[in-house]
């Protein structure tokens, strides 16, 4: 039983890491109806920007963080200007394919930057000064292994969600974002500038990508494999629903926990290595029952 809880907690905490990435998807989808496949590439490029500034140029944390954020905002604005604006009113699926193109572009760019800055493509360690070690007290009192880094990541995710909730519900821009998400046309007609709103959304998504990139980079090193994290976040989205921030969190927790439990309890029977697809198959089966996800809005077809 103890072992079960240990696996469960480990899974929940790694689910939080998935949620961090999934949040970026939800943000952009909520405000512009674009399913941004490039979120994983953005996570990678954000982490790489930070690590380049901090390690190569020796900047202190806040300076490197600020400059990396500026870079992400720039990428967000350029994306809006170059990719999305010419594709306004195109079918959603075209926009989706455009973001696949964007993902490839950013991956190529990021690797060129890495090659230029460090002259090789090996994983770069990213130090945030948080130990990735088990917490002593929980260890001795309950005999449960919980990494302090995972707890820190969970705290960051909680702060991020709280901040985003405040931003969406209390600020002027946040309300404008929600208006745009509801109806582009209506938002435009009451004088909400669509262009700036999209640029802002992509910048906020860039910020979320940077936070996710820092957490993932500190966990497993800044490397190309970070882009694959986005593939892990997709089943989270399906499960939680594309429109819901709460869904991203709950979906992440469910996926993380069930994935770890399945790996431990089911894995030995089928030869292991099921982490790669288990979340997908689970999301797929879930879709058959509830096509709009746990918290998604019910989709009604009108002719």
Partner 1 sequence: MLYREAGQFKTTYAADQQLFPIRQDRVAVLALLAVAYVAVPLLAADYWFNAILIPFLVFALAAIGLNILTGYAGQLSLGSAAFMAVGAVAAYNLELRVPGLPLLVSFALAGVCAAFVGVLFGLPSLRIKGFYLAVATLAAQFFIPWLLVKVGWFSNYSASGVITAQPMAILGYVFDQPVERYLLVLTIVALLALAAKNMVRSAVGRSWMAVRDMDVAAQVIGIPIVRTKLTAFAVSSFYCGVAGALYAYAYVGTVQPEDLNLDLSFRILFMVIIGGIGSILGSFLGAAFITLLPILLEVGLHAAAGQFGLNLMPGTTSMVQLLVFGGLIIFFLIVEPYGLARLWQVTKEKLRLWPFPH
Residues found near partner 1 in the complex (CB under 8 A):
35, 82-83, 86-87, 90, 92-94, 96-98, 100-109, 111-112, 115, 119, 121, 231, 234-235, 237-238, 242, 270-271, 273-274, 276-277, 280-281, 283-284, 287-288, 291, 301, 303
Q: Which is nearer to partner 1, 119 or 136 (CB)?
A: 119
Give the three-state DSSP class for 124: strand
Q: Which is nearer to partner 1, 69 or 255 (CB)?
A: 255
| Nearest distance from C-beta of residue 293 to partner 1, angstroms | 9
Residue 19 CB neighbours (<10 A)? 29
| Nearest distance from C-beta of residue 243 to partner 1, angstroms | 12
Q: Which is nearer to partner 1, 13 or 106 (CB)?
A: 106
Per-residue 3-state assignment (H helix, E strand, C coil) for 214-249: HHHHHHHCECCCHHHHHHHHHHHHHHHCCCCHHHHH
Q: Which is nearer to partner 1, 108 or 125 (CB)?
A: 108
Nearest Cα to Cα of residue 216 among 157, 259, 275, 278: 157
Sign of CA dihedral 287, 292, 295, 296: positive
- CA–CA distance, 75 with 203 (Å, rounded to integer): 8
| Nearest distance from C-beta of residue 19 to partner 1, angstroms | 17
| Nearest distance from C-beta of residue 152 to partner 1, angstroms | 30
CB 47 within 8 A of CB 222: yes
Q: Which is nearer to partner 1, 40 or 206 (CB)?
A: 40
| Nearest distance from C-beta of residue 89 to partner 1, angstroms | 12
User: Which DSSP string corresponds to 142-155?
Assistant: H----BHHHHHHHH
């Amino acid at each position: 039983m103890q072992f079960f809880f240990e696996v469960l907690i480990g899974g929940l905490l790694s689910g939080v890491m998935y949620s961090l990435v999934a949040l970026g998807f939800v943000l952009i989808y909520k405000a512009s109806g674009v399913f941004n496949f490039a979120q994983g590439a953005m996570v990678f490029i954000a982490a790489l920007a930070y690590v380049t500034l901090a390690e190569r140029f020796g900047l202190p944390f806040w300076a490197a963080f600020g400059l990396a954020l500026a870079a992400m905002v720039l990428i967000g604005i350029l994306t809006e200007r170059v990719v999305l604006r010419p594709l306004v009113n195109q079918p959603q699926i075209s926009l989706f394919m455009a973001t696949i193109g964007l993902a490839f572009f950013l991956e190529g760019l990021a690797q060129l930057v890495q090659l230029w800055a460090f002259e090789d493509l090996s994983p770069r360690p990213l130090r945030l000064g948080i130990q990735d070690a088990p917490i002593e007290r929980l260890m001795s009192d309950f005999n449960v292994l919980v990494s302090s880094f995972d707890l820190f990541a969970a705290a960051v995710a909680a702060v991020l969600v709280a901040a985003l909730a405040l931003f969406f519900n209390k600020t002027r821009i946040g309300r404008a974002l929600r208006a745009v998400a509801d109806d582009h046309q209506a938002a435009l007609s009451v004088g909400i500038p669509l262009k700036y709103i999209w640029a802002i959304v992509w910048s906020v998504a860039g910020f979320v990508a940077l936070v996710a990139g820092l957490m993932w980079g500190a966990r497993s090193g800044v490397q190309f494999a970070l882009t694959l994290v986005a593939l892990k976040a997709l089943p989270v989205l399906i499960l939680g629903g594309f429109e819901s921030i709460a869904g991203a969190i709950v979906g992440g927790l469910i996926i993380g926990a069930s994935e770890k439990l399945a790996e431990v309890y089911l894995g030995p029977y089928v030869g292991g290595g099921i982490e790669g697809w288990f979340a997908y198959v689970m999301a797929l089966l879930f879709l058959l029952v509830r096509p709009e996800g746990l918290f998604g809005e019910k989709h009604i077809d009108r002719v």
